[in-house]
A = this chain, B = another copy of it.
Amino acid sequence: MAETIANGRADQCANNIDGPTNPMVTPILTDLYQFTMAYAYWKAGKHNERAVFDLYFRRNPFGGEYTIFAGLEECIKFIANFKFTEDEIAFIRSSLPPSCEDGFFEYLRELDCSDIEIYAVTEGSVVFPKVPLMRIEGPIAVVQLLETPFVNLINYASLVTTNAARHRFVAGRSKILLEFGLRRAQGPDGGISASKYCYMGGFDATRRITVFLCFDSNVAAGKLFGIPLRGTHSHAFVSSFLSPDEIIEKSLQHRDGSSVCEDFVSLVQTWLNKLKWSHLLGGIFSETNQSELAAFTSYALAFPGSFLALVDTYDVMRSGIPNFCAVALALNDLGYKSVGIRLDSGDLAYQSCEARKFFRAIEKEFGLPGFGKMNITASNDLNEETLDALNKQGHEVDAFGIGTHLVTCYAQAALGVVFKLVEINNQPRIKLSEDVSKVSIPCKKRCYRLYGKEGYALVDIMTGENEPQPKVGERILCRHPFSESKRAYVVPQHVEELLKCFWPGNSDKTREDLPPLKEIRERCIEQLDKMRPDHMRRLNPTPYKVSVSAKLYDFIHFLWLNEAPVGELQ
């Protein structure tokens, strides 16, 4: 069914922006109340009133003090192709009371987003609570229809990108980070978009092309976004073999084509015996598991140029590592360099150190430069805490494969993105709440990031639309939006306007291009570098300051008093 919808839509929409990655993202991927409201607006003749909504979140996730904004491209792709099909209109009609008038469905039939304007922070930027990530302007009924899909598309995207960035921060720049999460993701789409956004947040890919790694990566995501893929094998592959006897095709050509080894299986066996009786290594193991040895040998025969083995199916030190080394040494005889091993259980710090010792001993014993630097990848329920613990303990892991905790954002599974009306017909609006953190900041606003002398971002400030822009070198008062006593003067050394026009609608603004994924990723890394380290640290980070201008502060509190009913104590 989703196919039909997507096709119908493609015929109707002529523009050069593709639809959303997931064809299920259509104008009816929304809450029904958006349609009941649209009907009520239409019925009241109010549907074309010009509204301004802010999309923002209220608290940084994961106990941290920063968030990465992601998902914008999907939102723009969504509105660029926003059009109801006849099927959808029929369904909406059947979901509303029969008394709803035909004219409304005529109205829906003609609807598109040509009259919408979208201003947004650039995707991949570091962002903070309360400051709008997107400002959406347009006829109120249409903007309201965008609420649910936009919030859905931004919420998880920003959350998982932030999660990836946090994992990168703990792991450090020099480690390779691999996203392993497709099978644990919340649905297929969760898996596909996780691959995209983890890459955006600093997970590895092309930059490490020289190291061929066991990236058990999501193939569909690779196809869609051009994210590099790496593959190895699973435990099942290992246990599907019984013994080396079952290997029939045993020959392997030398890498340079100069000769053929007719019995690679025996060559591996010879090396295994050498290892077993070697002075330096002897005694660590006796009999290795034969099913594992057969699996490694077979895998090497299939991929002699990129041999990488999962070594923990039976016993890492007594079977997996010796078996791997025997195969790698046999491959070395034929001119092939092996990639390394993957550890997927047990004490990763200890095992990686022991494996490294073993590799180095072989390098020394057999005079094989580089063997000691064999790549060690670790996986198994890794998260920020375990990475941190591994770092403190000391380890020899070169690459981490992170799955469940990364893609499901296990530590905090949702970001509270909201979409609030801030102005209608040029009248500022406020949403009150007994909980101050839930009061919205009214008015169509401009948002700036002010940078200090050392190049770090100091504070974000929101002003009314027509207030003058903060100027470099000029003192400006930054006020906490809700706390009277919290305020500070700032003399910015650099001022960055945060909201840019990504969808000009009928205005004469220029549309910002949607940058390619790699560029967004680079922006994200750059932006994180510009943050003061105390905002970034894992434990007790300093909150980044978010403020409003003095004028906006006064206006917020005027409007608040105006709208809130006066209580009567009895």
Contact = CB atoms under 8 A, between A and B. Distances in A.
Interface of A: 1-3, 6-7, 10, 20-26, 28-37, 39-41, 43-46, 49, 51, 53, 88, 91-92, 95-97, 99, 140, 144, 147-149, 151-153, 155-156, 160, 182-193, 214-220, 222-224, 229-237, 239-242, 246-249, 283, 285-289, 291, 298-299, 301-306, 312-315, 318-319, 345-346, 404, 408-410, 412-414, 416-417, 419-421, 424, 427, 429-435, 438, 563-568, 570
Nearest to A242: B427
B23 A183 contact: no
A2 to B, nearest CB: 5
Number of copies: 2
Contact of A345 (B234, B312, B438): B438
B319 A565 contact: yes
A44 B249 contact: yes
A301 B43 contact: yes
Contact of A224 (B1, B192, B223, B424): B1
Nearest to A159: B186
Most chain B CB within 10 A, of A91, A285, A404, A433, is at A433
B184 A345 contact: no
Contacts of A417: 183
Contacts of A299: 40
Nearest to A413: B408
Given A184-B155, A283-B568, A144 B33 contact: no
A231 B31 contact: yes
Nearest to A104: B302
Contact of A240 (B231, B429, B566): B429
Nearest to A191: B152
B188 A32 contact: no
Nearest to A19: B3
B97 A236 contact: no
Given A3-B3, A92-B219, A156-B187, 18 more contacts: A22-B24, A24-B189, A26-B220, A29-B218, A32-B230, A32-B231, A33-B231, A36-B302, A37-B233, A44-B248, A46-B298, A148-B218, A152-B182, A155-B183, A235-B421, A236-B431, A314-B432, A314-B565
A155 B185 CA distance: 8
B438 A22 contact: no
Given A185-B186, A236-B420, A345-B438, A218 B22 contact: no
Contacts of A435: 345-346
Contact of A220 (B29, B53, B187, B315): B29
A30 B563 contact: no
Contacts of A246: 46
B219 A29 contact: yes
Most chain B CB within 10 A, of A10, A44, A299, is at A44
Contacts of A147: 183, 234, 236
B23 A2 contact: yes
Contact of A298 (B34, B44, B427, B568): B44
B303 A233 contact: no
B223 A91 contact: yes
16 contacts: A3-B3, A22-B24, A28-B223, A31-B183, A31-B231, A36-B231, A40-B298, A91-B219, A186-B190, A186-B408, A187-B190, A189-B190, A239-B424, A240-B421, A283-B568, A404-B414
